[in-house]
A and B are shown apart, each in its own frame.
Chain A
Amino acid sequence: MPAKILQVEDLEIKYHTKDGILTAIRNTSFDIHEGEIVGVVGESGCGKSTIASAVMRLLPPNGQITAGQMLFRGQDLVQLDEEGLRRLRGKDLAMIFQDAMTSLNPVFSIEQQMLDAQKAQMPGSGRKWQRARTERALAMLERVGIPDAPRQIQEYPHQFSGGMRQRIMIAIALLSNPALLVADEPTSALDVTLEAQILELILGLRDELGTAILYITHDLGVIARICDRLIVMYAGNIVEAGAVLDVFGAPKHPYTQALLRSHPSHSVRADRLRTIRGRVPSLRDLPAGCKFAPRCDMARELCHTAEPDYLPSGDQHVLCHAYGPAWEAAGPTVALPSETRKPLAVKAAKAALASDEVVIKTEQVRTHFRDHVAFLSQILGQRGGAVRAVDGVDIEICRGETLGLVGESGSGKTTLGRTILRLLDPTAGTVIIDGQDITHIPQTKLRPLRARMQMIFQDPCSSLSPRMKMSAILLEPFRIHGVPVDDPKRKVDELLATVGLSSEQAEKYAHQLSGGQARRVGIARALALNPDILVADEPTAGLDVSVAAGILNLLKDLREELNLAYVIITHNLNVLGFIADRVAVMYLGKIVELAETEALFTQPRHPYTEALLSAIPLPDPTLRDKRQQIILTGEIPSARKPPPGCPFHPRCRYAAARCRSDAPPLRALNGGRHLAACHFPERVKAGLSAG
C-alpha cells in the first residue's frame, strides 16, 4: 500500500455564529494515500465542504479547528502559520471549486493566471524562465483538452463555457504538480456529458501524475465512477468509510443504505422511490444519541440516548449501534411518525376523461431570440442574428401522460416548455392547448386559460416572492383569477397537505424553507386552480437525492390522482426513467429522438441519446470497467450557428459524409412509436441495460 499523504485525526471544527458556537465537524479521522481518490459524500449540511476547506485551511473567518490534527506528509496543517500554509498551497496542495466562473479572476487573461500560479514553483524572472512557464501552461491546457491552446490562453474567463472553465481551473490547480488535490463538487453545475468528460480527465490525470484527490460530491454515481475509497458524512460525523467496492457492495450504515436506495437510477420504472424521512438536523439542535436516529427505521431506544462508537469491520468503519456489542440489549425499535401523504380523492369527472385526448399539441414550433440591434444601426442596414432556441418541434401530449424533455444546457428544452405555455411567443408554428390554437391570441384572452396550464419553475426559492408568507403565495392564484375562497385558512392547509407539508409552513417566508419544502410549495401553488397541464422545469435540480426522490414520488402520485398532463424538463435521464411515459431528446432546438421511456432506455436509436445514457453516473462501482462509456467530445454548438447537415454530426461517432450535408428528418422506426432523426439508427446499439 502506498504511503499515507494525509492523516486527519480527531478533527473538530466549530463555527462562531450569532446563535453561539456550533460544532460542524466532530471526532473525524481519515487517511488519504498517495495517488488515491477518496470521495466524501452526504446530503447538504453534513459538513462535506467544511472538511474540504479545513484541509486547505481555508475555513471562513468564523470557523475554527478546535481539536485534532491533519498530518500532511508528517507536517501538521493545523499548527502551520500563514507563511507555512502559503508555501504549501498552490504547490503541494491545490483545490478546485464548484463554480469555475467565480473562482477565475475575470480581469486577467488565462495566461496571466496560469503564469502567476507557477511563481511559487518556478520563481526565476529571466526570459528563459518566462518561456518555460508559458510552455508549461500551454502543455497543461492541451492536456486538459483546451483546443487551440496558444490562442485560447490569451482569452479571459468569460470567453469560455462552463465546462471549459472547469478544465482551466483543473489545469491551474495541477500546474504545480500538487501531491493532494481537493475537489469540491467540481462537476455539480455541469451537464452529464461534460461531467463525464471532466471525470475522465481527472482519472487520467491521477493515473499520469499520481496526484491524490479528496473529492467532495453529493452524487453517489460520481463516487462509484472514480473513487477508490469513500467517506459518508452525516451531521458532522463520518458514519461510514471504506473501499468503494465494499461500501457499495454491502453498505452497513442505515444512512448509506438509505442514500443508495433513494438514487433514482436504481428504480427505472419502479413504482416509488425510497426516500429518507425528515431532513438533516440543524447544527443548532442536534439530537442526543445517534444523530441519524430520528430518520432511521431500525433505530432502537439505545440509539436515541447514547452516541455510537466507530466499529471497524474489516477495512470498513461504521458509526452505528447495530454492529456493536450493545445491540441485543438496545431495547425495542422506536416507531417513528409516519410521513405518508394522504392521497387526494380522485376527481371522478376528470378521471373519467379519455386518456388519448390530446391536450398539448405543437406544430413546427420555432422560438428564435433575435439580437437587439439599436435603432440607428437598423437604419444603417445592420441585421442582427438570431439564436434558434427551438427550431421546429412537433409534439403531442395526452391527458394523464408525462412527456420528458431531456438534453444538455443549450438544447432548447426550457424554451420549448415556456413556449408551450406561451410565456414566450413562438416565432413560427402553432401551439394548440385542448384543441384551441393559442399561438396568437392576445394576453387578455390568454389569462383565463392560464389557470389551466401551470409551470413549476426551476429555482424553488426565488420563484417564491420574498416578502409574502406561504399562505399569501398559495392564495395568489385564486386572487388573480377572482375565484372566491370561502375559508382561506382551510384552503391553504389543504393545499399544503396535498404536497405533504404541515400547516405550520403557512406562516413562513421563502427563506425559512428548505429547498425541498420551497419546491413543494411551488407545486402546491401550481396545483391550486386544478390545472390540466403542468410543465415542470428541472423539478429536482439542486436537491439532495433523498429530497429529490420525495418530490418525484409526489409528482407521480399527483399525476395519477389528478390525471394531469405533464411536461418534465430535465437534464437528468434518471429522473425520466422513473416518471416519464415518453421521452423527447432535444439537441440544438430540435427533437432528435422521441420514444416510450423503456424503449428509449433499452434501445436508443440516436447516437446522442446513446451518449447521454452512457454518461449517467450510476451508483454501482462494479460497472466501472464493464460499462461501455461513450464520452462525447466537445460541447453543444451555439444555437446561433448550428452546424450544417445533421446538427449532431461534429460530435457523433457514427457520422458519415452524408451527415455533414443532409439533415436527417425525424422519422418513425419500429412500427411508428419510436421516432429518431438519424441517417443510421441501426448503428446505435448500447442501451442502459447493456451496461
Chain B
Amino acid sequence: MQYVARPANRYQQFLNRIPVLGDVLRRPLGALGFVIVLAFIVMVIFAPLLTPYSYEEQDIPSMLQGPSQAHWLGTDHLGRDLWARIVFGARIALGVAVPAVGIALVGGVSLGLLAGYLGGLVDDVALVIFDSLQAFPAVILALAILALLGSSLRNVIIVIGLAWTPGYARITRAQVLSARQEPYVEVERSLGANQTRILFRHILPNVVAPLLILAAMDLPVVITFEAGLSFLGLGVRPPTPSWGVILSDGFNFIRHSPWPITWAGLTLIIVTLGFTLFGETLRDVLDPRLSGSRGA
C-alpha cells in the first residue's frame, strides 16, 4: 500500500512526454501488449524480408517436417515453409480485421448517432434491427450470408463488418443519449446552436473515445473470428495463407506432424493476447470518466 515517490528516470521522463501511449507503456501488461502488437505490425509490413520462401512455393519431398535450419518452423503437408505462411498470414489477419472493424465503426457510429439523436420511430426501428441481427450468433449469420454471396476475402470483410455493426451502434446510441443530458449540451442549446453543431461538435467527440477503445479490443476477436471462418472453409481460400487455413490444413495431418497446428495456434494466441492487453490498458488509461484529464 505504501507508495514510495521515486525520482523519475530518463525512461519515465520520456514516457511523460507521450500523451496516451506513455501511460499505456507505464503499465507492464500494457507494455507487453504493445510490444506484441508492434511485432505483429512489423511482420505485416516487412513480410517479404522476413523469409526467403514464398508462402505458396510447394516442396512435396520435404513435407511435414519439424523445425530445422532450412525451415525454422518446419513445413506443411505440401512442403510449404510454415514461417513464411504465418508471416504472410499476418497480412490476411490484419487485412481482414482492420477494414471489417472499420466498417463496423463507421456504420455503427452513423446508425447510433441517428437513432440516439433523432429518437422516436427511427430509434424504435433501429433497435428492432439491431436486436434481430444480434439475436443470431455471429457464426450462423456469417454462414448464412457467405452461403448467399459466396466466400471471398471481400465478402468475409463485409460479413464481419455487418455482424459487428449493431454492437457499435448500440454503444454510440447509449453514449449519445447520456451526452444529450449533459449540462454543457444544454448550454449549447441555450446559446442558440443548431442540432448539427451540437451533434458533431459537442456530442460526437465525447462519444468517440470509448468506441475507439472498443475497436482496439475487437481487433483480436475479429482476427480469431476470421481464422474460425477460414478453418471452416468459409473464409479465405487456400492457398492464401490465413492462420485459419493453416490450422485447418494442419488439423487434417495432425497424426503426421503436430507443427502446423502448434505454430498457427500459438501465433493466434499470442497476437490475440497482445491486442487484448493493449486494448484493455488503453481502456484503463482512457476511461471515459477520466478522459477529461488528458489536458493536464
Residues of A within 8 A of B (CB): 16-21, 61-62, 421, 423, 444, 446-451, 454-455, 457-459, 462-467, 469, 476-477, 480-481, 508-512, 522, 525
Contact = CB atoms under 8 A, between A and B. Distances in A.
Contact of A463 (B3, B5, B183, B194): B183
B206 interface: yes
Given A480-B197, A509-B295, A511-B293, A462 B192 contact: no
Contacts of B189: 423
B182, B184, B202, B292: residue with the most chain A Cβ atoms closer than 10 Å:
B184
Contact of B190 (A21, A444, A455): A455
A510 B187 CA distance: 14
B205 interface: yes
Contacts of A509: 292, 295-296
B196 to A, nearest CB: 11
B295 A469 contact: yes
B135 interface: no
B7 to A, nearest CB: 11
Contacts of B193: 447, 476, 480
B188 interface: yes
A423 B191 CA distance: 10
B186 A457 contact: yes
Interface in B91-138: none
B187 A457 contact: yes
A163 to B, nearest CB: 25
A457 to B, nearest CB: 5
User: Which of the four size classes fits the interface of chain B?
Assistant: 20 to 34
Dominant SS at the B interface? helix
Contacts of A522: 187
Given A511-B292, A512-B296, A450 B184 contact: no
A423 B190 CA distance: 7
Given A16-B3, A467-B205, A467-B206, A512 B192 contact: no
B191 A477 contact: yes
Contacts of A455: 187, 190
Contact of A464 (B2, B184, B190, B296): B184
A489 to B, nearest CB: 18
A506 B4 CA distance: 35
Dominant SS at the A interface? mixed
A467 B182 contact: no
Contacts of B194: 444, 447
A332 B184 CA distance: 48
A459 B182 CA distance: 10
A61 B1 contact: yes
Given A62-B3, A466-B291, A509-B295, A447 B192 contact: yes
Given A447-B192, A465-B202, A477-B191, A512 B183 contact: no
Given A61-B1, A480-B197, A450 B292 contact: no
A508 B295 contact: yes
Given A450-B190, A480-B188, 12 more contacts: A18-B3, A423-B186, A423-B190, A444-B194, A446-B192, A447-B192, A455-B190, A466-B292, A467-B291, A476-B193, A480-B191, A511-B295
B5, B182, B191, B205: residue with the most chain A Cβ atoms closer than 10 Å:
B191
Contacts of B191: 450-451, 454, 476-477, 480, 525
B206 A466 contact: yes
Given A462-B183, A509-B295, A480 B1 contact: no
Contacts of A19: 5
Contacts of A467: 205-206, 291-292
A508 B206 CA distance: 18
Nearest to B198: A480
A457 B2 CA distance: 42
A386 to B, nearest CB: 20
Interface of B: 1-3, 5, 182-184, 186-194, 197, 202, 205-206, 291-293, 295-296
Contacts of A444: 194
15 contacts: A16-B2, A18-B3, A20-B5, A61-B1, A62-B3, A448-B192, A462-B183, A463-B183, A463-B187, A466-B184, A466-B291, A467-B206, A508-B295, A509-B295, A525-B187
B186 A512 contact: no
Contacts of A458: 183
B1, B206, B292, B296: residue with the most chain A Cβ atoms closer than 10 Å:
B292
Contacts of B293: 511
A469 B5 CA distance: 31
B295 A476 contact: no
Contacts of A17: 3
A449 B189 CA distance: 12
A451, A455, A467: residue with the most chain B Cβ atoms closer than 10 Å:
A467
Contacts of A459: 183
B176 to A, nearest CB: 15
B295 A421 contact: no
A90 B186 CA distance: 44
Nearest to A480: B193
Given A21-B5, A467-B292, A511-B292, A480 B192 contact: yes
Contacts of A476: 188, 191, 193
A21 B189 CA distance: 44
Contacts of B192: 446-451, 480-481
5 closest A-B pairs by beta carbon, nearest first, are A450-B192, A466-B292, A509-B295, A463-B183, A16-B3
B189, B293, B295: residue with the most chain A Cβ atoms closer than 10 Å:
B295
A16 B190 CA distance: 43
Contacts of A449: 192
Contacts of A464: 184
B183, B186, B188, B194: residue with the most chain A Cβ atoms closer than 10 Å:
B183
A560 B197 CA distance: 34
Nearest to B296: A512
Contacts of B182: 462
A448 B191 CA distance: 9
B15 to A, nearest CB: 14
A535 B66 CA distance: 79
Nearest to B192: A450
A414 to B, nearest CB: 12
A151 B292 CA distance: 46
Nearest to B193: A480
Contacts of A480: 188, 191-193, 197
A454 B190 contact: yes
A469 B293 CA distance: 12
Contacts of B190: 421, 423, 450, 454-455, 457
Nearest to A455: B190
B286 to A, nearest CB: 12
A533 to B, nearest CB: 11
A457 B189 CA distance: 12
B186 to A, nearest CB: 7
B3 A465 contact: no
A525 B187 CA distance: 10
Contacts of A469: 295
B179 to A, nearest CB: 10
A290 B252 CA distance: 82
Nearest to A453: B190
A508 B296 CA distance: 8
A561 B123 CA distance: 48
Given A455-B190, A463-B184, A467-B205, A512 B5 contact: no
A2 B190 CA distance: 59
B161 to A, nearest CB: 28
Nearest to A508: B295
A449, A463, A512: residue with the most chain B Cβ atoms closer than 10 Å:
A463
B209 to A, nearest CB: 9
Contacts of A421: 190
Nearest to B184: A465
Contacts of B1: 16, 61-62
B255 to A, nearest CB: 57
A61 B3 CA distance: 11
Contacts of A466: 184, 206, 291-292
Nearest to A509: B295
